[in-house]
Amino acid sequence: MWRTVIFLIIALILVPIATYFLDVPLDAKQYEVLRVLVITYLIAAGLCFVISTISSNFSQVDKLWSVIPIVYAWTVVYYYPNDGRLILMASLVTIWGARLTYNFARRGGYSWKFWEGEEDYRWAVLRSKPEFKAPWKWFLFNLFFISLYQMGLILLFTLPILKAATNTPLGIADWILALLFVGLVIFEAVSDQQQWVFQNEKYRLKTAGEPMSGEYADGFLQSGLWGILRHPNYAAEQAIWVVFYLFSVVATGIYINWSIAGCILLLLLFKGSSDFSEGISEGKYPKYKEYQSRVGRFLPKLQNQKEENVGRNEALPEM
């Protein structure tokens, strides 16, 4: 686990530096905006670290994940109030953030005592591992990975809006990307809703002592979008920020610019996060490995779908 953490932290430092030097330097105004954004990031990361350390609730970054990109995006718009592309991008981030904040809130993630709220179950599992038994190791992990790394990643995947600050007019490509962005937000919302309905019904059956069958007996959702992908919400989240990056490509004409660092690092984070989550699921649910063998993680397993189609065709009576 420590190797993964160290790799991600090094990547957080090296990837932005490498992409920056391969691109056109920022102008003076962009530097000023970046300075404001970095100060905001450091304050937010510091607060997350202090509050999580005092409260022992290590989901403080989760509470800001869907909120602070909105702050970053509209901060950039404040400095470029007449740039239509930036206003469009900030509006899209607001739609994404409002939807994700609602989903987090209904799961109990927020509380009027802001330091409380439901903690991501994976932090408790991680704290119980031998490599984190020493309090000082968890202290460092919370400081460098949970607080500084994750908050830094959020800033990075929002930065294409700063790169896109070129004052070039909106075009058809921008509107195509906007429609794709909204479509992915809807896809993510549907997958979250399906999981929400499933989990509520599963725990209702458990509480009522009613018999469970099918996927309820298996313990995990395998139908709907979850029958196509094992993590449809994660897949959509990653794709959303890749699309967001493409706005900077449209604005500048530079296919690989420094603001790509955020979406690259986000892909790495979700790979590691899903590895960890699936390791937990494999231990809890006996049929999860079979589910992994037939359903893709972030992309559909086309071969399995072809086999299913062949099976259906073979089952059809001859005319």
pLDDT at 74: 98
Residue 288 lies in a domain: yes
| Residue 315 pLDDT exceeds 60 | no
Higher pLDDT, 311 or 248: 248
Alpha-carbon span 121 to 304, nearest angstrom = 32
Residue 313 — pLDDT band, cuts 50, 70, 90? very low
| Residue 104 pLDDT exceeds 60 | yes
Residue 315 lies in a domain: no
Residue 284 lies in a domain: yes
Residue 107 — pLDDT band, cuts 50, 70, 90? confident
pLDDT at 135: 86
Alpha-carbon span 18 to 11, nearest angstrom = 10
Higher pLDDT, 287 or 112: 287
> Chain-centre distance of CA 85, in angstroms?
23
pLDDT at 289: 94
Residue 313 lies in a domain: no
Q: What is the mean pLDDT of the chain?
A: 88
**What is the mean predicted confidence (pLDDT) over 15-24?**
68
Name the burial class of residue 244, with classes exposed (0-12), middle (13-18) and buried (19+) by CB atoms within 10 angstroms of its CB.
buried
Q: How does DSSP classify residue 170?
A: P
Query: Residue 296 phi/psi, 5° resolution?
Result: -70, 155
Residue 10 — pLDDT band, cuts 50, 70, 90? low
Domain that holds residue 282: 2-301
Residue 187 lies in a domain: yes
Alpha-carbon span 104 to 215, nearest angstrom = 24
**What is the mean predicted confidence (pLDDT) over 26-51?**
95
pLDDT at 316: 47
* Range with the poorest average pLDDT among 99-108, 134-143, 191-200, 300-309: 300-309
Residue 232 lies in a domain: yes
Task: Let me know: does 91 contact 84? Beta carbons within 8 Å.
Answer: no
pLDDT in tens, 222-281: 999 999 999 999 999 999 999 999 999 999 999 889 899 899 889 988 988 888 889 889
Residue 255 lies in a domain: yes
pLDDT at 78: 97
> Chain-centre distance of CA 6, in angstroms?
20
Q: How does DSSP classify residue 231?
A: -
pLDDT at 11: 64
CB within 8 Å of 84: residues ≥ 6 apart = 169, 170
pLDDT at 35: 95
pLDDT at 129: 82
Residue 318 lies in a domain: no
Higher pLDDT, 96 or 269: 96
Alpha-carbon span 79 to 60, nearest angstrom = 29
User: What would the 3-class secondary structure string for 181-223 be?
Assistant: HHHHHHHHHHHHHHHHHHHHHHHHHHHHCCCCCHHHHHCCCCC
| Residue 120 pLDDT exceeds 50 | yes
pLDDT at 5: 60
Give the count of domains, the chain.
1
Nearest to 121, CA basis, from 130, 132, 111, 108: 108
pLDDT at 136: 86
Radius of gyration of the chain (CA): 21
Residue 6 — pLDDT band, cuts 50, 70, 90? low
Higher pLDDT, 4 or 308: 4
